[in-house]
Structure 1
Amino acid sequence: MSTETASETRISEPPSNLKEFLSYMGPAWVFTASQIGGGEVLSVPLGGAYLGMEGIWLIPLITFTKIFGQYYLVRYGVMTGDTFLDALYERSWALKWIFYYVFLGGLIYAIGLSGHLGETAGAFNSLVPAISNTWWMLITVVAGLLVVGMRSYNLIEKLATSLLWIFLVLIAFVSLSTMNVWGPNLASGLVPSMPGRVEGLGVGGMAFVLTMFGWIGAGFGPTVSYVWFAKDKVMGMFEPLDKGIEIDKYDLTDEEISHLKGWGDIVLWQNMLSSTILAVFSFFMWTAAAATLHVQGIQPSGFTVIPEMAAIFTTQFGQWSATLFLLTTVAALFSTLIGPMYGMSRLWEDAFALHGLFEKYPITRDTVFRMTIVLFAVIPLSLNLFLEAPLILFALSGALFAPAVGLMYLAVMYMSFDIDIDSLSPTRKWAVGLALFAGIVMIISGVWEARSSLETIQTLLGL
């Protein structure tokens, strides 16, 4: 290794105090904002509505295990300067096929976004009924394209972070206002037990546990996008590459390796804080539903959970509380749309670059990026306008791409131990164990979700 001086180091020293650390939390904020509007908004309140406080123990279990697979996906890029997708493409076909699986997953994820778009429009419509769901979908898509089309990570970060904290503060207020209802049953709910059946999801017992494991915490779109958020934030090995400096991992100085290891720790704490926020948010959503829908004996299904909760808040606390709840939903769902749309489009842009598109044809990265975000917006909008079957589309998306997150976790763990520089390979055995556990369970839950999703499709289509 080279013995360059500290003044010549090509990799900056990682944040050393809280203020500096928070200045690099942006990727985690965007990831968290992207995630909470997905499975958490839909599945978590269904658990509270059907089960009350029973089963709430699943929230900390799931959020604090899945996050370690996510951590190693981001850590790999920060340690090597290659996103896990770039690294997969350079491997043999034993791993390279996962590259195309993830790449094509952008289309499948766009199908799943139809549900998020419909939810967002429905929440807007509840706030302003004079404008139809169709027009709200069009307005939402145009707003999303305007934001993401600026190709500004900083804008995405600021907007998503603002929406995230608005959402968290408001849903915490709504939940805590009902604490006298759910509080007495909290202790018993935190004791592990096999949950009952949730008809709104069509599962119970271990099947419900597997479904929650797939829906709560890191999902496919936000998980993949997080890697590109970290790249655009210019962390670790992404820094010299962003400055156009050629760097070889075998030519790193001892100081640069020390800095990289520090950046790896920053990624860990980013993910730990993110998982804490996801756990707290999910807790508030579950308890709010348990204190309202469950107490009233209302068992919603599919996308009726948000309107049902808003109606209960109106009855119990007045219109102001329903408006607050709907505002939190709108904030979460819109952040779910813009974050992954940006991240998945960056993924496609880099994937086309790997195939030499920009060298072979007179087309720019910006053009491909903007064409991709239009594609990812048109797919869910068209499906909603012409099919009007968000449940089927959600089920189809899950069935086609269920085990992807688990496969990514296991693949990146293998590559992390193949970096060739021992000091940059994972060293926390407990974190490695949790990441492997999360990957295996995600594959199992993914296959299970695929099977149940196909059954849902058959039922909804009357087959």
Structure 2
Amino acid sequence: MSTGTAEAAEAGEHRISQPPQTLKEFFSYMGPAWVFTASQIGGGEALSVPVGGAYLGMRAIWLIPLITFTKIFGQYFLVRYGVMSGDTFLDALYRQPKWLKWIFYYVFLGGLVYAIGLSGHLGETAGAAQTLVPVGSIGALNGTGFWMIVTVLAGLAVVLMRSYSLIEKLSTTLLWVFLTLIAAVSLLTADQWAGGLAQGLIPSVPGYVDGLGVGGMAFVATMFGWIGAGFGPTVSYVWFAKDKVMGMFEPKANGTEISKKDLTDEEIKRLKGWGDMVLWQNMISSVILAVFSFFMWTAAAATLHGTEIVESGELGGFEVIPQMAVIFTSVYGEWSAGIFLLSVMAALFSTLIGPLYGMSRLWEDAFAMHGLFEKFDVTRDTVFRLTVVLFAAIPLGLNLVFEAPLFLFALSGILFAPAVGLMYLAALYMSYTDIDQPGLVPERKWAVALALFAAIALIATAAYDVYPTLMGLFG
């Protein structure tokens, strides 16, 4: 292992590369943000946002800008911590005192809770596939079950290749197919929702949403958990940034020993540049999430709100996405249902491959910290593959047994919202205490304030109505 010194750096051998200097270079590093955005829109946004618009109309649309433009700063400090320190927040949490270290295990177990929520993505992808290509029962397995197995196998095939570039390219492509189509519908139906926009932007507690099985503050907690920067995509983003060897991840990837106290002025300047790039990555992702969440909500409010299927509370089960095809057919005609189903399936599938990769990397690193690979004859690659299969098997098994994808989706959102909030608080705390270089601690107080608000809101909204909601969900 080579050792980097300040003298060598002063001589021109800087251990940290220059951050992108041109727009072309900047966008070459946007891959982690595209993967995050694809995973997030294909997850929380593609399910909870249209269901919210369908049941509530324009009421509660105020949640979209509030959530997307605050949670993103919590994620920013999570990723920034890694870029400034060369350690993921999970690595750092494990080294903290016991009063803070417990969050490490909460985040670790949060992967299981998030996997429960993937039941919604998997179930609705399979339901859409069954509508497009109906398959009869195969023994005890119905057509939807068949398509769930096919979807899981396809996701495993992509993730187990462990190819970052493949996931990045595939997620980016799937993202834009869906977003372009849904934006057109929203704009073409603007005359039907524009009148209620001003009232909808005034904060109010929303009513009950049959499709998700929650209402009031529980609906707010579900939305805080799933839209904006969610648990799975956020965790994945941290590991994708590491794979892109940004900032302090670079010398560690090169096997160079480096101390933050040993950094030269030029290297500090470069690290701050990488931190700024992470901020802009997150800001761009936030705008995309806000704009297209708005498009999805308004399109559903214009085409589904007040319709018979919504008023009867039947917008649920594995048929939510096929039922939501009205969003397209009411504008373009019946022929467009296939396009809608294919685009939403693409978006939902993109949310499976990103978090499956990121959550499995999280568990792989967690097992390494506990000495698994030294104590037993097992490789990191084997553990990665086993955890990928585990996180895919959980939603598949739950869907086959309970057949309640959106119930599991809402339950997961309520349960892991506090974990995301605690991650934000821990990242902020460590950004001031662990990065022992004054030039690298957070300087934007407004960004810190927004991240704190997001963290407190995530914890408070979930705690406010969790117990009665869980009792109601379980009957």
Return the TM-score normalized by structure 1.
0.93
1:395 deviation in Å? Answer: 4.7
2:227 corresponds to 1:216: yes
Aligned counterparts of 1:195 and 1:97: Cα–Cα separation in 2: 34
Aligned counterparts of 1:403 and 1:224: Cα–Cα separation in 2: 14
Residues 166-216 of structure 1 show CA distances to partners (whole Å, capped at 9, x for unaligned) of: 111121122223223223433443344554443434555555444432332
The residue that corresponds to 1:262 in the other structure is: 273
Aligned counterparts of 1:423 and 1:376: Cα–Cα separation in 2: 40
Aligned counterparts, 1:382-461, within 5 A: 382-398=397-413, 400-418=415-433, 419-448=435-464, 450-451=466-467, 453-459=469-475
1:165 deviation in Å? Answer: 1.2
The residue that corresponds to 1:181 in the other structure is: 192
2:286 corresponds to 1:275: yes
Identity %: 72
2:237 corresponds to 1:226: yes
Residues 333-390 of structure 1 show CA distances to partners (whole Å, capped at 9, x for unaligned) of: 1011110000011111111111122222222211111111111112221222233233
Aligned counterparts of 1:293 and 1:51: Cα–Cα separation in 2: 10
Aligned counterparts of 2:59 and 2:412: Cα–Cα separation in 1: 29
- Structure 2 letter corresponding to 1:76: Y
Aligned counterparts of 1:340 and 1:141: Cα–Cα separation in 2: 13
The residue that corresponds to 2:55 in the other structure is: 50
Could you say if the C-alpha distance between residues 399 and 203 of structure 1 is closer, same or farther in structure 2, counting changes exceeding 3 Å? closer
The residue that corresponds to 1:113 in the other structure is: 118
Contact 1:49–1:298 (8 Å) recurs in 2: no
Shifted more, 226-235 versus 171-180: the winner is 171-180
Aligned counterparts, 1:36-435, within 5 A: 36-130=41-135, 132-204=143-215, 206-296=217-307, 298-299=309-310, 300=313, 301-303=315-317, 304-311=319-326, 313-315=328-330, 317-398=332-413, 400-418=415-433, 419-435=435-451
Contact 1:55–1:194 (8 Å) recurs in 2: yes
Contact 1:59–1:283 (8 Å) recurs in 2: yes
Contact 1:399–1:453 (8 Å) recurs in 2: no
Aligned counterparts of 1:454 and 1:191: Cα–Cα separation in 2: 28
Shifted more, 367-376 versus 310-319: the winner is 310-319
Aligned counterparts of 1:97 and 1:277: Cα–Cα separation in 2: 34
Aligned counterparts of 2:220 and 2:397: Cα–Cα separation in 1: 33
Paired positions, count:
459
Aligned counterparts of 1:136 and 1:266: Cα–Cα separation in 2: 40
Aligned counterparts of 1:395 and 1:193: Cα–Cα separation in 2: 20
Aligned counterparts of 2:147 and 2:214: Cα–Cα separation in 1: 32
The residue that corresponds to 1:21 in the other structure is: 26
Contact 2:221–2:413 (8 Å) recurs in 1: no
Question: SS at 2:304's partner residue?
Answer: helix
- Structure 2 letter corresponding to 1:250: K
Aligned counterparts of 2:471 and 2:247: Cα–Cα separation in 1: 45
Contact 1:402–1:450 (8 Å) recurs in 2: no
Question: SS at 1:99's partner residue?
Answer: helix
Aligned counterparts of 2:151 and 2:221: Cα–Cα separation in 1: 32
Shifted more, 412-421 versus 306-315: the winner is 306-315
Contact 1:33–1:332 (8 Å) recurs in 2: yes
The residue that corresponds to 1:2 in the other structure is: 6
Could you say if the C-alpha distance between residues 209 and 370 of structure 1 is closer, same or farther in structure 2, counting changes exceeding 3 Å? closer
- Structure 2 letter corresponding to 1:345: S
Shifted more, 375-384 versus 263-272: the winner is 375-384
Question: SS at 2:125's partner residue?
Answer: helix
Contact 1:53–1:290 (8 Å) recurs in 2: yes
Question: SS at 1:11's partner residue?
Answer: coil
The residue that corresponds to 2:139 in the other structure is: none
Aligned counterparts of 2:115 and 2:214: Cα–Cα separation in 1: 25
Shifted more, 91-100 versus 311-320: the winner is 311-320
Contact 2:171–2:350 (8 Å) recurs in 1: yes
Gaps of 5+ in 1: none
Contact 2:226–2:413 (8 Å) recurs in 1: no
Shifted more, 406-415 versus 50-59: the winner is 50-59
Aligned counterparts of 2:221 and 2:108: Cα–Cα separation in 1: 25
Residues 13-41 of structure 1 show CA distances to partners (whole Å, capped at 9, x for unaligned) of: 10112111111011111111111122212
Aligned counterparts of 2:217 and 2:105: Cα–Cα separation in 1: 31
Contact 1:392–1:456 (8 Å) recurs in 2: no
1:108 deviation in Å? Answer: 2.1
Question: SS at 1:218's partner residue?
Answer: coil
- Structure 2 letter corresponding to 1:83: T
Gaps of 5+ in 2: 137-142
